[in-house]
Structure 1
Amino acid sequence: MPPAPAAPELLAEPGAAPAAMPGPARRRRPSALWRLALPFGSLLLFLALWQAVAAAGTWSETLVPPPAKVWDAFLAVSTTRDGVRGYNGTYLVEHLGISLRRIAFGAGVGIALGVLLGLVMGTVRWVRSLFEPWISFLRTLPPLAYFSLLIVWLGIDEEPKITLLAVAAFPPVAVATTAAVAAAPRHLVEAARALGASRWEVVKDVVLPSALPETFTGVRLAVGVAYSSLVAAELVNGLPGIGGMVKDAANYNNTPVVLVGIAAIGVSGLLIDALLVRLERAVVPWRGRT
């Protein structure tokens, strides 16, 4: 009988790379062009459906303006027309910049406090028992429930707006950090203690790196909650500000400007979330690999 054929890897020369596996074992990653085409295709489909609904005439243009009118509103609030500068004397980019500064300061304070308290709650059990019910209570409250109280306490200037955004961003980070710290690998903690590490060194070198991935998730959630609270924060004396612009335009049934403001909030939120994802990949490169 003829000898059986040798396996391909046995016939390969020493040091040569193994042959690629044929068939479905190799998964092809979608190309970058395809990944870009999907969101743009969905956007074009959404615009086409929007135009079709507006052209059907089922609702008035006050309720569902066509995309062309929204584009005209975008140009109007972004430029000077007939001596009118933007919306209420302020360009769209300036409205957005003022709101982003409020979010950066308010959400930044809430995130910093949430991370610090989460670290303490995750490592000290009695502190967690003391503060966890209050954080859960605060997390379930809608921003409008206590905004009026903040106005009574702090007035109608910047203080109640920033405080509202800080209070809204605080609970998600505190909850995520507490859970991540409490779930730190016990064997690593005990090994560090056995090697003579102090309590602070255990937290800094073991607990904190283990908690960082979930903490970043909490930060992203906190920024989203702050964005969803933006219009509520700018209900009173919110102009200039993108949320105040949306509220003021809604008072006059100026739906195109309302949609422009909503789109500006959404697009800026997507960009900020993308930046947070990039930052997370840079700071926590081991996420998903351990």
Structure 2
Amino acid sequence: MINTSALGRAASTGATRYDDGGAPPRGRRPRWRRAGRAVALPLLSVLVFLGLWQSAAVSGIWSETFVPPLGKIWAAFVDMSTTHDGVRGYGDYLLWEHLYMTLRRVFLGVTVGVLAGVALGVAMGSVPWVRRVLEPWLTFLRALPPLAYFFLLVIWLGIDEAPKITLLALAALPPAAVATTAAVASTPVPLVEAARALGGSRWDVLRDVVFPAALPETFTGVRLSVGIAYSSVVAAELFNGIPGIGGVVKDASNYNNTPAVLVGIVAIGLSGLIIDAVLRAAETRAVPWRGKA
């Protein structure tokens, strides 16, 4: 085996050595300043957007039904998060309860879809005839919008949790499968041949060579799967979607309750950002060699 620890020590030593005796090159900003800038710029963009929204709301150009002021959106958030005048949240559920049910559905659907997609990707990337058989079906499924088959799932599975989770799983499967297939198929052939020459079995080659090489692109596929599943939440919760953020958005839109719709959209977007950040952190820890080899 290659002494990867020695290579790592050499790389880390080389990465911190400078011609001027160890001092960082001039012009490089301190880490705290770079971190502050990374936080300040997104925050500034949010403040600018909120300012533009409020200006459009108070200008009178559009009706409050289309562009409600920030105060009404905040009031809707408070109403949906508390019990007021004997009314509990929205549809008798608090906002966090709606969000919990949506995240639960997304988690279950994405877990099933990603596991199936990765398994299919490994099989399709490793066995050519499996890829030839399954790739047309995978492409067909990837081209379908979720609403195209959601009503069929409702007919088959009813209106409870089964069609929602199945829809999210079907939405999450293609990105994971495509990314894993491409990653497995592009594993460097010399590494595979070297592992076989050293007596590695098929499973040894998959475990020690193919899986580590495919892991970075597989993580990309997982992130795409989560994003696509999240974009399908409203479709998945069209029927019997309360409790659920998608159900709130759909129900509130029926009554032109724009503030509640916007609260639901923001809740979906912010939770999606947090989940993506968690996935990126997990990717950084699980695949530290990405971009360095």
Q: Provide TM-score, normalisation by structure 2.
A: 0.91
> In structure 2, what is the equivalent of residue 284 of structure 1?
287
2:203 aligned to which of 170, 177, 200: 200
Change (3 A) 1:42 1:156: same
Q: How far is 1:35 from its partner?
A: 1.3
2:77 maps to a residue whose letter is F
> In structure 2, what is the equivalent of residue 164 of structure 1?
167
Give the secondary-structure state (helix, strand or coil) at the position aligned to 1:31: helix
Larger Rg: 1
Residues 17-61 of structure 1 show CA distances to partners (whole Å, capped at 9, x for unaligned) of 741699987544652111111111111101100011111111100
In the alignment, the residues of structure 2 paired with residue 260 and residue 234 of structure 1 have an alpha-carbon distance, to the nearest angstrom, of 16
1:37 maps to a residue whose letter is A
Within 5 A, what are the aligned runs for 1:12-91? 18-19=19-20, 27-28=28-29, 31-91=34-94
Q: How far is 1:101 from its partner?
A: 0.3
On the 8 A contact 2:18/2:25 being kept in 1, the answer is no
Q: Which runs of no fewer than 5 residues in structure 1 stay unpaired?
A: 1-15
Residues 234-273 of structure 1 show CA distances to partners (whole Å, capped at 9, x for unaligned) of 0011011110001000000000000000000000000000
> In structure 2, what is the equivalent of residue 130 of structure 1?
133
Change (3 A) 1:23 1:286: closer
Answer yes or no: is 1:251 the counterpart of 2:225.
Answer: no
Change (3 A) 1:85 1:128: same
1:189 maps to a residue whose letter is V
2:150 aligned to which of 115, 133, 147: 147
Give the secondary-structure state (helix, strand or coil) at the position aligned to 1:87: coil
In the alignment, the residues of structure 1 paired with residue 197 and residue 165 of structure 2 have an alpha-carbon distance, to the nearest angstrom, of 45
On the 8 A contact 2:18/2:24 being kept in 1, the answer is no
> In structure 1, what is the equivalent of residue 11 of structure 2?
none
In the alignment, the residues of structure 2 paired with residue 252 and residue 91 of structure 1 have an alpha-carbon distance, to the nearest angstrom, of 19
In the alignment, the residues of structure 1 paired with residue 24 and residue 172 of structure 2 have an alpha-carbon distance, to the nearest angstrom, of 49
> In structure 2, what is the equivalent of residue 238 of structure 1?
241
In the alignment, the residues of structure 2 paired with residue 68 and residue 20 of structure 1 have an alpha-carbon distance, to the nearest angstrom, of 57
Change (3 A) 1:120 1:256: same
Aligned residues: 275
> In structure 2, what is the equivalent of residue 99 of structure 1?
102
Q: How far is 1:73 from its partner?
A: 0.3
Q: Percent identity?
A: 64
Q: Which runs of no fewer than 5 residues in structure 2 stay unpaired?
A: 1-16
In the alignment, the residues of structure 2 paired with residue 32 and residue 119 of structure 1 have an alpha-carbon distance, to the nearest angstrom, of 38
Q: How far is 1:167 from its partner?
A: 0.3
2:121 aligned to which of 118, 121, 125: 118
In the alignment, the residues of structure 2 paired with residue 225 and residue 168 of structure 1 have an alpha-carbon distance, to the nearest angstrom, of 6
1:36 maps to a residue whose letter is V
> In structure 2, what is the equivalent of residue 6 of structure 1?
none
In the alignment, the residues of structure 1 paired with residue 180 and residue 26 of structure 2 have an alpha-carbon distance, to the nearest angstrom, of 39
Q: Provide TM-score, normalisation by structure 1.
A: 0.92
Residues 132-171 of structure 1 show CA distances to partners (whole Å, capped at 9, x for unaligned) of 0100110010000000000010011110000000000000
2:177 aligned to which of 169, 174, 177: 174
Tell me whether 32-41 or 122-131 shows the greater mean CA deviation.
32-41
